[in-house]
């Protein structure tokens, strides 16, 4: 759109979008209602002067340079959970790469059936619908992949030093700022679809973090001491996610594993591991080529874990 000092003529828009000039004008009025500042000059056309710092389908899709991710994007002010909406959309046949975002979730879901606090306008509450050609045992690799994407984006946009606590909690200064919830529908050893939910505490102030969570949860704003643009951060995540996902599908999990281990929390250290059946001390070694956690117990036995929690 930037050929003519950033102006684009009404005729050009009308030709490209295959709509009338009146319809173009009406769209501009809609964008203005959405908070965009638009200059319209005769014989030059339209130019966007500034975009609003709020999340909407427009603000996220404007300038989003992805091939397939987020081309169908649904933004809601309030939902129970973006996961539920994404499941509904999946069942309606919506395509791979569909994205659901909400300003607020009133029934946000965390891993292990825990609630996920998702206050209005303070974070990124987003679910991505994927239709990967993978077998169900590979689904956890997508979760690890998403964790590396978030760590890389936080590094690109700040001086922060994120770490990933297996499988997919993103910590900054030893406090959790983000979590990932992967839900899958599979049949006959083939994934039908995956709903990958990303929750990021972005602009909460210290007072916004509830009582007993204070010593283990934080936000990007608290840790970086600056406000983040939520729409811009979502765009960066979608770009980075698409790039990493395409690489994973064409080249396999190895690169993701290496990046994951670069950010791995307490790798090489003694931790307490907890499963449904027991709790024990072990040294974290890294992750296996299939994404399982590799640990060494105190007798020196190496173990491969698919479902466990690393205690704080
Ligand atoms: C966790 O660490 O327990 C995972 C948290 C995942 C939260 C996100 S927010 C967007 C999506 N919708 C939900 O209800 N949950 C996920």
Q: Are residues 71 and 139 in the same domain?
A: yes
The span from the CA of 297 to the CA of 276, in Å, is: 17
The span from the CA of 85 to the CA of 99, in Å, is: 10
Q: Tell me how many degrees the CA angle 139-145-147 measures, rounded to the nearest 5.
A: 115
What CATH number does residue 291 fall under?
2.30.30
Q: Are residues 205 and 285 in the same domain?
A: no
Question: Of ligand 1's atoms, which has the minimum distance to the CA of residue 179?
Answer: 2
Q: Which ipTM score applies to this complex?
A: 0.99
Q: Beta strand 190-201 with 175-187: parallel, antiparallel or unpaired?
A: antiparallel
Inside any domain, residue 41: yes
The span from the CA of 243 to the CA of 235, in Å, is: 12
Inside any domain, residue 158: yes
Q: Tell me which residue of 161, 158, 179 sits closest to 170, measured CA to CA.
A: 179
**Is residue 255 marked as binding?**
no
Q: Are residues 61 and 121 in the same domain?
A: yes
The parent domain of residue 112 ranges over 57-263
Task: Judge whether residue 255 has pLDDT over 60.
Answer: yes
The span from the CA of 182 to the CA of 197, in Å, is: 6
Inside any domain, residue 2: no
* pLDDT average, residue stretch 282-311: 93
Long-range (24+ apart) CB contacts under 8 A made by 226-229 are: 226/158, 227/203, 228/157, 228/202, 228/203, 229/53
pLDDT grade for 4, boundaries at 50, 70 and 90: low
Q: Are residues 166 and 257 in the same domain?
A: yes
pLDDT of residue 1: 44
Q: Are residues 21 and 107 in the same domain?
A: no
Check pocket membership of 182 for ligand 1, CB cut-off 6 A. no
**Is residue 176 marked as binding?**
yes
Inside any domain, residue 4: no
Task: Judge whether residue 240 has pLDDT over 80.
Answer: yes
To test the pocket of ligand 1, the residue of 179, 237, 241 to mutate (highest count of ligand atoms within 8 Å of its CB) is 179
- Total-model pTM: 0.89
What CATH number does residue 129 fall under?
3.30.930.10
Task: Judge whether residue 107 has pLDDT over 70.
Answer: yes
Check pocket membership of 97 for ligand 1, CB cut-off 6 A. no
How much distance in Å is there from the Cα of 46 to the middle of ligand 1? 39
Inside any domain, residue 34: yes
Q: Are residues 218 and 82 in the same domain?
A: yes
- Sequence-distant (6+) residues with CB within 8 A of 3 are none
Q: Are residues 21 and 103 in the same domain?
A: no
* pLDDT average, residue stretch 77-86: 98
Q: Are residues 227 and 153 in the same domain?
A: yes
Choosing from 35, 50, 65, the residue where a domain stops is: 50
* pLDDT average, residue stretch 69-77: 97
Q: Are residues 183 and 221 in the same domain?
A: yes
- CA 109 to chain CA centroid, Å, is 15
- Count of structural domains within the chain: 3
Across the chain, what does the average pLDDT equal? 93
Q: Are residues 36 and 169 in the same domain?
A: no
* pLDDT average, residue stretch 127-145: 95
Nearest CA to ligand 1 atom 9: 199
Nearest CA to ligand 1 atom 15: 109
Q: Are residues 252 and 280 in the same domain?
A: no
pLDDT of residue 99: 98
CB atoms within 10 A of CB 98: 25
The span from the CA of 218 to the CA of 223, in Å, is: 7
Check pocket membership of 108 for ligand 1, CB cut-off 6 A. yes
Following CA atoms 169, 307, 82, 264 in sequence, which dihedral angle do they give, to the nearest 10 degrees?
20
Q: Are residues 216 and 280 in the same domain?
A: no
Inside any domain, residue 5: no
Helices 254-263 and 230-251: crossing angle in degrees, nearest 10, is: 130
Check pocket membership of 127 for ligand 1, CB cut-off 6 A. yes
């Amino acid at each position: 759109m930037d050929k003519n000092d950033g102006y684009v003529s009404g005729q050009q828009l009308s030709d490209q979008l295959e709509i009338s000039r009146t319809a173009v004008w009406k769209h501009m009025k809609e964008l203005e209602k959405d908070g965009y500042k638009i200059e319209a000059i005769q014989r030059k056309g339209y130019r966007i002067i500034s975009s609003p710092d709020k999340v909407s389908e427009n603000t996220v899709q404007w300038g989003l340079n992805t091939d397939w991710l987020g081309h169908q994007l649904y933004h809601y002010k309030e939902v129970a959970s973006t996961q539920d909406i994404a499941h509904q959309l999946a069942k309606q046949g919506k395509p791979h790469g569909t994205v659901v975002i909400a300003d607020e979730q009133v029934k946000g879901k965390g891993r292990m059936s825990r609630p996920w606090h998702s206050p209005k306008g303070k974070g990124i509450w987003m679910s991505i619908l994927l239709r990967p050609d993978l077998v169900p045992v590979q689904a956890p690799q997508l979760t690890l992949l998403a964790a590396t994407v978030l760590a890389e984006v936080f590094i690109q946009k700040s001086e922060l030093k994120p770490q990933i606590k297996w499988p997919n909690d993103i910590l900054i200064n030893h406090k959790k700022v983000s979590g990932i919830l992967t839900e899958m529908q599979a049949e006959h050893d083939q994934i039908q679809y995956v709903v990958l939910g990303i929750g990021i505490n972005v602009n909460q102030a210290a007072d916004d973090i509830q009582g007993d969570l204070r010593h283990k949860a934080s936000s990007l704003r608290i840790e970086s001491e600056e406000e983040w643009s939520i729409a811009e951060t979502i765009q960066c995540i979608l770009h980075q996610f698409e790039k990493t996902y395409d690489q994973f599908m064409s080249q396999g999990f190895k690169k993701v594993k290496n990046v994951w281990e670069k950010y791995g929390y307490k790798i090489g250290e003694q931790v307490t591991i907890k499963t449904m059946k027991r709790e024990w001390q072990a040294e974290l070694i890294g992750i296996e080529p299939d994404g399982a956690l590799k640990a060494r117990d105190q007798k020196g036995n190496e173990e491969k874990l698919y479902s466990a929690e690393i205690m704080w």
